[in-house]
Amino acid sequence: MAAANKIAVMRSELGRVRALGAGRAGTAHWWAQRVTAVALVPLTIWFVIDALRLAGLPRSVVAHWASHPINAALLAALVLATFHHAQLGLRVVVEDYVHGERTRMALVLLIQGAAAILCLISLIAIVRLATVV
Amino acid sequence: MTDSRDALMLGRASDGRLVRRPLSPHLQVYRPQITSILSILHRATGIVLSAGTLLLVWWLVAAARGEAAYATVSGFLRSPVGLLLLFGWTATLWYHFCSGLRHLAWDAGWGFTLPVVHRSGWTVVIAAAVLTVLTWIVAVIVI
């Protein structure tokens, strides 16, 4: 008994609760994943339908479509929800399969950085496209 | 302790000994089933779709940059490789979409009995296939 008991848990139950559990984030991540998922349901349907309508058409038509504030806003919402959702999901994959604190943290930061940059590029492209005409 | 999650992997054996629990699940001991296959597919399609966002970013950036850049991206998307990528993208998107709705239903507390789980699983597969085919029928008509 004595030897086996040396596996020490250096944390009280209260400490674990206060630090929001082993993930240290409570349900914030889980909830954000669901909120973005729900948002992406109508946004995805809208985007696929409009993408099909724009398929094969010249750039001027695409620019005209994007110049409508509703389309530009929905496009921006789609991009924001997509990259936030993707980043949250990929993070879980990394946390599940990558062991070792440093590699895991490096990968998570890389994913978040890439998602943020791609999201910003897309948003700026949308603004530019919407003001072409 | 090197990993904070080790704290959750401590348990007691039947004789009261403290033991380090094995990490679960051990995929190799399970027979593949519709439940596990679809769960793995949901994650796999999520990863593929994340990579697929590059196509969306490229399209948006090209459209913003000008006629020449837009012609390049349009040309690529109409090429055999581009069409194959787009087909894969739509199939992956619709699977993740339908499977995601199933997950949201579970989050709402619906559909946990085994018969319903099997039925909703096959519904997701069929719905994703139908939506993919439908998308491409429309695409062929439009283009």
Q: Show me where the domains of chain B are located.
A: 30-142
Whether residue A82 is contained in a domain is answered as yes
Whether residue A21 is contained in a domain is answered as no
Q: Do A86 and B49 touch (CB under 8 A)?
A: yes
Q: How many residues are recorded in chain B?
A: 143
Whether residue A3 is contained in a domain is answered as no
* Token code pair at residue A97: 């399969």
Distance to chain A for B114, nearest Cα, Å: 23
- In a mutational test of the A interface, the residue from B1, B23, B40, B60 whose CB has the highest number of chain A CBs within 10 Å is B60
Whether residue A42 is contained in a domain is answered as yes
Q: To which residue do tokens 């919407």 refer? A: A130
Q: Do B67 and A59 touch (CB under 8 A)?
A: yes
Q: What are A32-57's pLDDT values in tens digits?
A: 999 999 999 999 999 999 999 999 89
ipTM over 0.85: no
Domain count, chain A: 1
Rounded to two decimals, the pTM is 0.83
The CATH number for B30-142, chosen from 3.40.640.10, 1.20.1300.10, 1.10.357.10, 3.40.50.300, is 1.20.1300.10
Output the pLDDT for position A23.
Answer: 63
Partners of B17 on chain A (C-beta within 8 Å) are: 1, 4
- In a mutational test of the B interface, the residue from A35, A48, A49 whose CB has the highest number of chain B CBs within 10 Å is A48
Output the pLDDT for position A26.
Answer: 72
CATH number of A45's domain: 1.20.1300.10
The domain of A112 spans 27-130
Residue B2's pLDDT band (cuts 50, 70, 90): low
Q: What are A58-80's pLDDT values in tens digits?
A: 999 999 999 999 999 999 999 99
At CB < 8 Å, which residues of chain B contact A? 1-5, 7-8, 10, 16-20, 43, 46-47, 49-50, 53-54, 56-57, 60-61, 63-64, 66-67, 70-71, 74, 78, 90, 93, 97, 100-101, 103-104, 107, 135, 138-139, 142-143
Whether residue A18 is contained in a domain is answered as no
Whether residue A13 is contained in a domain is answered as no
Q: What are B17-34's pLDDT values in tens digits?
A: 888 877 666 667 778 889
Whether residue A99 is contained in a domain is answered as yes
Distance to chain B for A69, nearest Cα, Å: 16
Q: What are B31-50's pLDDT values in tens digits?
A: 888 999 999 999 999 999 99
